[in-house]
Amino acid sequence: MTKKSKKVLKPLLDDLYEKYSTPDFIQSDPVQIPHMYDKRQDIEIAGFFAAVFAWGQRITIINKSKELLERMGDSPYEFIVNHSEKDLVHFMDFKHRTFQADDTLYFLHWLQTYYRDNDTLEDAFLHSNNDQFDSKSSLIYFHDLFFDDPLAPERTRKHVATPARKSTCKRLNMYLRWMVRPNDKGIDFGLWQRIPLSGLMIPLDLHVEKTARQLGLLKRKQRDWQAVEELTGALKAFDPEDPAKYDYALFGLSILEK
């Protein structure tokens, strides 16, 4: 990126970030789902499902997330930790696009196993033997941990992405943005303190990709993990400590300006 391009783009992106990163953003975005709760574990669980469901129309994502949480009695952490096998009958007919009952049941099983031994889902994204956070290795670690269970259905793997398969991991990167970025704008939560802002990656979807290419921030032809690294690296030129904040600017310019 030339100095001239940086001089032009930084004030544009900074202005767009300020324009779109307001509480009004919540009204039509899946991030409203974890905002329904106050308890940290409720926020983590509700946010995780909302992020996993985040493909397709946003209103559908929001409605299906609410439906699933209603089946948990709107107390996700209490349900996750204490549910018994007989309680699972309420989820046998739940589905969201290709997310079917088998997927739901495994997610519930894994979360129960996990939360009975751990206090926060943040630990699932952190290497116990690695003090230096690296997004790629952490997402691979989470994926492998999530499926390190003999009950894991093969079909469910498509719902938890990993850079090991060159995926953009858009939904997990969005989830990490929600949990890690500070809540000074009233959108993200700032719940997790051990993952640095500088380590967050841009949630790269079709809309963000289109805008990034138009602005000359992304050259790679494929939409894959390397494209995420390229775009996030370009955005670090504007804010090396918090490049993921420009997700609001790129997404807003593509979607909300319409």
C-alpha 104/C-alpha 95 separation (Å) is 8
98 burial via Cβ count (<10 Å: 0-12, 13-18, 19+): exposed
The whole-number pLDDT of residue 131 equals: 67
117-131, 183-197, 219-233, range with the lowest pLDDT: 117-131
User: Does the pLDDT value for residue 9 go beyond 90?
Assistant: yes
pLDDT band at 53 (very low <50, low <70, confident <90, very high): very high
Q: How confident is the model at residue 17 (pLDDT cuts 50, 70, 90)?
A: very high
Q: Is the pLDDT of residue 254 over 90?
A: no
Residues 6+ apart with CB under 8 A from 218: 209, 212, 227, 230, 231, 234
pLDDT of res. 161:
98
Instruction: Tell me what percent of the residues of the chain surpass a pLDDT of 70.
Output: 96
Token pair 């975005």 is at which residue?
A: 29
Please indicate whether residue 203 or residue 133 has the higher confidence score (pLDDT).
203
Give residue-wise pLDDT tens across range 129-140: 556 789 999 999
**Residue 55, pLDDT above cutoff 80:** yes
Contact predicate 211/258, CB 8 Å: no
